[in-house]
Amino acid sequence: MPERYGVGILGAGGIASTYHVPALLAMPEVKITAICSRTLAGALAMGEGVGANWVGTDLALMLCRPDVDAVLILTPNHTHLEMVERVAAAGKPMLLQKPMGRTAEECRKMMAAAEAARTPLVVSFMHRYLPEVQRARRYIREGLIGQVETVRIRNAPGTTSTIRDWFYRRELVGGGCALDIGVHGIDLLRYLVGEVEEVLSATSRTFRTGVQANGHRVQPDNEDFALATYRLTGGVIAIHEMSWSHRSPVDRFSMEIYGSEGSLVLRSALGPLAVFSPRLGPDWFVPRLTEPPVGIAQHRAFLAAIQPGATVEPSGRDGLKAVEVVELLYQLVAKGETGCSSAG
């Protein structure tokens, strides 16, 4: 691993400026060496104060730079396949913003491109790296709440009124809230509890036929609410609610995990994490968690994952599995049926 890793940023939108770039700037082992955006104005705006060696709109020029050791792909969903194929062809390890692709087929093509180039492809499931999620994973593996039986998870970041127009076009996004934020919940279920083996039921709806985006009103053609029930490994039943349709500020997710010997809740009124287990006493136990600056844990894990011989995680397979579950959800909604088994 280089003494200081040179990172190129591809895409200068909100997720880059509010999450990824601030985290990288707080890491002494990283330098943002290049910024590439669709517009020069966007690249220059992000480059101001970052100290990048290069700013521009030509991805080919960025990819041939020797000071770019890895690339963060933070562009709209419909561009992911092309961007991954180009970055892989240049031999640059990459962190790809979720959802991995608009369809499972796009995800498989990205995986094939990365495998052919022998280039690490990491999918940005940032919720895995929250301290409460890491601690919950440890507690579950230690059997603190016994055998997990049921789960409830809610992904609901609230009204998304500052997003660009493309965000509300199914053709460009691939779906609505289920694909946008639902993949986060699906990945957490897989990370904490077990594989999603079957989508038992699903429904979706578009409550808002007009939303403010990019300074004017647009008409979405993708869902802003979805509800699904899954069967996980070992017969665990999970209920998953996904929504954009909140007016008030709400948390990105909340989660309740019920086991044979106790319960565990994430991001509730009790705090980031609370556990009820006879092994810990008669009351809810709220562990003291150290909260590092937002995003640093994830980006350090990314740098570790792209080292020679390291396990790539979350991998393209993780990104694919989340999209496959969403596709099953959409199939049930379209057909009005129940009981779709997960793909391989």
**pLDDT digits over 92-118, tens only?**
999 999 999 999 999 999 999 999 999
Same domain, 169 and 256: yes
Over residues 298-320, the mean pLDDT reads: 96
Give the H or E element holding residue 62: helix 59-63
What distance in Å separates the CA atoms of residue 117 and residue 89, rounded to the nearest whole number? 6
Same domain, 112 and 160: no
Same domain, 203 and 233: yes
Residues 6+ apart with CB under 8 A from 215: none
Same domain, 195 and 284: yes
Confidence grade of residue 161 (pLDDT, cut at 50, 70, 90): very low
What distance in Å separates the CA atoms of residue 124 and residue 155, rounded to the nearest whole number? 16
Each residue of 264-290: pLDDT tens digit?
999 999 999 999 999 999 999 999 998
Same domain, 229 and 138: yes
Same domain, 333 and 214: yes
Q: What percent of the chain has pLDDT over 70?
A: 94
The structure's pTM equals: 0.94
Same domain, 141 and 197: yes
Same domain, 309 and 283: no
- Of the chain, the end-to-end C-alpha distance in Å amounts to 35
Which range of residues forms the domain containing residue 90? 5-126+298-314
For strands 262-268 and 271-276, give the pairing: antiparallel
Same domain, 244 and 134: yes
Over residues 72-97, the mean pLDDT reads: 97
Separation in Å, CA 9 to CA 73, 230, 316: 7, 36, 19
Confidence grade of residue 342 (pLDDT, cut at 50, 70, 90): low
CB atoms inside a 10 Å sphere around CB 285: 17
316 burial via Cβ count (<10 Å: 0-12, 13-18, 19+): buried
Query: Is 99 in contact with 183 (CB distance < 8 Å)?
Result: yes
The domain tally of the chain equals: 2
Same domain, 79 and 203: no
Local structure of 149: helix, strand or coil: strand
